Amino acid sequence: MDETAISNEGPRYEEAPWGDVLRDGFRFLLRGMKDTPAVVLSPSRDVLMWNPLGCALLAWHLTGLAELATAQTAKGVASKARDAGTRPNCARMLFLDPRDRHLYPQWEHETAREAAVLRQAVERHPDDPALAALIGELRDADEYFASLWPRVAGRVRPFGVRKFLHPVVGPLELAYENIQPHEPGPCILVFSAEPDSPSERALRDLTDKAAAIR
């Protein structure tokens, strides 16, 4: 098994090499979803697995796509998030990495939703040490999160629409579905675009560019 997941050369294989045990069904599903961004997340928002397009959409700066990014992005801005060599975490990237602020034109809406997801996870998994450690880290590292956390309620729809301003392919408006095969356990976050829309064309362009740099 090729365990290469994330490097500056781009994701060549979709499973993260941190030793997480996931059912074959997760791996087979993501392997087959070549044209659909898909990510498997733990309750603490760690990326357990993602396909190349999921990585290119949510973490372009961890791949060779960073070389194609436009001058308007936050390249070179100091980040409080962990280095790319450690496990990616969606909440950590959103709150602590300034490049994510540029990725989401509705950043405040995204952060409120993400905080609600974390609150819901805490209510469902009150004894999860990874989740408690993440919340503590975010409260210590980010004043905005620290002020937001006490006010957020853990009520989150598992579906909706999210907007992106991708530095390589431009605006995207994508439907998303959070699919959780069993509770407790990981969930699969899947994105899709309306057929024949500008977002579908941009997503197809991102697929081509991500494939070209791997």
pLDDT tens track for 23-57: 777 777 887 888 899 999 989 999 888 888 999 99
Domain that holds residue 116: 24-213
pLDDT at 201 over 90: yes
- Domain assignment present for residue 14? The answer is no
Q: Which amino acid is at 182?
A: H
Please tell me the total number of residues recorded for the chain in this structure. Answer: 214
What SS3 state is found at 112?
helix
CB 39 within 8 A of CB 177: no
What does the alpha-carbon distance between residue 47 and residue 41 come to, in Å, rounded to a whole number?
A: 5
DSSP state of 80: -
What does the alpha-carbon distance between residue 54 and residue 44 come to, in Å, rounded to a whole number?
A: 18
- Domain assignment present for residue 9? The answer is no
- Domain assignment present for residue 160? The answer is yes
- Kind and range of the H or E element at 15? none
**129-141 and 107-124 are packed helices; what angle lies between their axes, rounded to 10 degrees?**
150
Structure tokens at 57: 């959409």
Share of the chain above pLDDT 90, in %: 50
- CATH code where residue 111 lies: 3.30.450.180
Count up the domains in the chain and report the number.
Answer: 1
